[in-house]
Each structure stands twice: as structure tokens, then as C-alpha cells.
């Protein structure tokens, strides 16, 4: 080696910001999370505006008894399906008709022509009535939306905490408390700027241990002849993390 190592005993002082792979991974997770939160917030605002409009229309609407002129129901419709009604009704002193009024198919399929039906008519849109039971049931379904958004937010925070813990265990914890070993790759390391995963081995108490190693992309590992310096992942001893010269200098493990 052209330099001298000065590696402290474990536990070693290693900060998150000193480990580029941890910073990069958490930065990626944070960026994706913020993007998803932004998209979810935009969708929630759009959905809230729609829900508010539907609830406002329902609150303004007056109940009017109309009659069924026709039920449009496809053959083979099952329970829970939706039918479209042609209805006749009177509102604001005028006789009116409307088509495509949504109703539950399991009820509407038994309504012959002339069956009375309760309609909700919004004074701002008197030509577009709603069948009362269907409209109220549809709007009531949105009541659970805030709870769903809350659960989604908690799940997102839990996923971020899980990724934070996983990053700490794989990128930071080995440097803090992991055993440092001289690793012998099974084959010469390729000249590449991509992250490299390779098979290797090292001896510990006269026992040869086979491991898989991960080397930081585009960085020269700390070498001792053909061997490279690596930190053993404490919770997964079959994996090791190769220590490159840049990281060793950042951590103060190379004497200047």
C-alpha cells in the first residue's frame, strides 16, 4: 500500500453524511416519496373539489316525486349494478323529462312504466335530477376518504422508516461495528464505473468464509496486493461492503 491505515476500534464514529451510498439511497427515496406525496396531494385536492361539489349539490337539492318512463338495464345485470332511468317530473312549475338517471339495478329492474320515484333536483341544474337513494349512497361513500388518506400517509411513513433502517444496516452499520477484513475476490475486479457485486472469501480464525461483496461504483478499493478491504455486515455475515479509498479518507482511516 502507498499509504498507512489508521482504523479505530469498533464502535467507530461514522455519520450518515459521510457515506455516499446511504446519502444517495435516502435522497432517491426522499425524492420519490415527495413526488408521490405531491401527486397524492394534487389528486386529493381534485377529488375534494369534486366531493365538495357533489355534497353541495345534494344539500341544495329538493325532493321531487317523478315517474319512471323507462328502465334501461342490460341483460344479465347482477346485484349491485347500475340502471339508467328515463323519468318525467315537475319542477319550478314546468313539466320536465330526463334520461340517464342512475339508480340501483336490483330495485329499478322491477319498476314498470309509471312507477313513482323520488328525485333530487338541484335548482342550479334542474334538467339533471338524481335518483334519491342512489345519489345519497354515492355521496356517503366519500365519508371514509379522510381515513383512507390518513392510513395511506401512515403507510408511507412506515415505508420510509423501513428504508431508513435497511439503509443503515447495509451501508452505515458495517462501517460502525462490522469486522474489517482483507477480502480475496474469486476473480480480478472488472474495470467499470457501475456498482460491482462479486464473490470472494476471507479467513477468520483459520476458517475460510465465502461471501458476496458489493463495491461502490467508479471508486478504487483500499488494496493490499490482490486483497481489498471490506466491512462485514453484522446482521448478514455472508455479505460484505468493500471500502474504497475516497470513503476511507472521508472517515479519517488513512493517515495523511
Residue 17 or 134, more confident: 134
Q: What is the 3-state secondary structure (H, E, C) of 119-171?
A: EEEECCEEEEEEEHHHHHHHHHHHHHHHHHHHHHHHHHHHHHHHHHHHHHHHH
pLDDT value of residue 8: 82
pLDDT computed for residue 79 by the predictor: 55
Q: What was the pLDDT predicted at 125?
A: 92
Is residue 92 predicted with pLDDT exceeding 80? yes
DSSP character for 39? H
State the pLDDT confidence band at 80, using cuts at 50, 70 and 90: low
pLDDT of residue 78: 55
Inter-residue contact 200 to 32 (CB < 8 Å): no
Rounded to the nearest integer, the mean pLDDT of the chain is 85
Identity of the highest mean pLDDT range in 25-29, 90-94, 237-241:
90-94
Within 8 A by CB and 6+ apart from 145, the residues are 47, 51
pLDDT for res 77: 52
Can the peptide bond before residue 55 be classed as cis, meaning omega within 30 degrees of 0?
no
Highest mean pLDDT among 124-128, 171-175, 217-221: 124-128
- Looking at residue 1, its pLDDT comes to 52
Is 234 strand, coil or helix? coil
Give me the pLDDT at residue 205, please. Answer: 81
Report pTM: 0.56
Q: What angle do CA 184, 185, 188 make, to 5 degrees?
A: 125
Phi then psi dihedrals of residue 81, to 5 deg: -75, 175
What's the pLDDT tens digit per position in 226-256?
899 998 888 787 888 888 888 888 888 887 6
Amino acid at each position: 500500500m502507498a499509504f498507512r491505515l489508521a482504523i479505530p476500534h469498533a464502535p467507530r464514529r461514522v455519520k450518515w453524511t459521510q457515506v455516499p451510498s446511504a446519502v444517495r439511497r435516502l435522497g432517491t427515496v426522499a425524492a420519490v416519496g415527495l413526488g408521490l406525496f405531491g401527486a397524492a396531494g394534487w389528486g386529493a385536492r381534485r377529488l375534494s373539489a369534486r366531493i365538495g361539489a357533489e355534497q353541495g349539490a345534494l344539500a341544495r337539492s329538493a325532493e321531487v316525486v317523478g315517474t319512471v318512463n323507462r328502465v334501461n338495464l342490460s341483460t344479465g345485470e347482477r346485484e349491485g349494478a347500475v340502471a339508467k332511468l328515463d323519468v318525467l317530473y315537475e319542477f319550478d312549475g314546468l313539466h320536465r323529462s330526463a334520461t340517464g338517471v342512475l339508480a340501483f339495478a336490483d330495485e329499478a329492474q322491477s319498476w314498470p312504466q309509471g312507477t313513482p320515484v323520488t328525485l333530487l333536483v338541484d335548482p342550479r341544474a334542474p334538467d339533471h335530477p338524481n335518483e334519491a337513494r342512489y345519489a345519497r349512497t354515492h355521496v356517503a361513500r366519500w365519508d371514509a376518504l379522510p381515513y383512507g388518506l390518513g392510513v395511506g400517509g401512515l403507510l408511507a411513513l412506515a415505508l420510509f422508516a423501513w428504508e431508513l433502517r435497511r439503509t443503515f444496516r447495509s451501508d452505515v452499520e458495517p462501517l460502525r461495528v462490522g469486522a474489517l477484513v482483507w477480502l480475496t475476490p474469486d476473480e480480478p475486479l472488472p474495470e467499470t464505473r457501475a456498482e460491482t457485486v462479486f464473490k470472494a472469501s476471507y479467513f477468520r480464525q483459520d476458517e475460510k468464509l465465502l461471501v458476496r461483496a458489493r463495491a461502490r461504483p467508479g471508486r478504487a478499493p483500499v488494496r493490499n496486493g490482490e486483497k481489498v478491504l471490506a466491512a462485514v455486515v453484522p446482521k448478514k455475515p455472508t455479505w460484505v461492503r468493500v471500502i474504497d479509498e475516497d470513503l476511507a479518507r472521508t472517515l479519517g482511516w488513512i493517515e495523511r
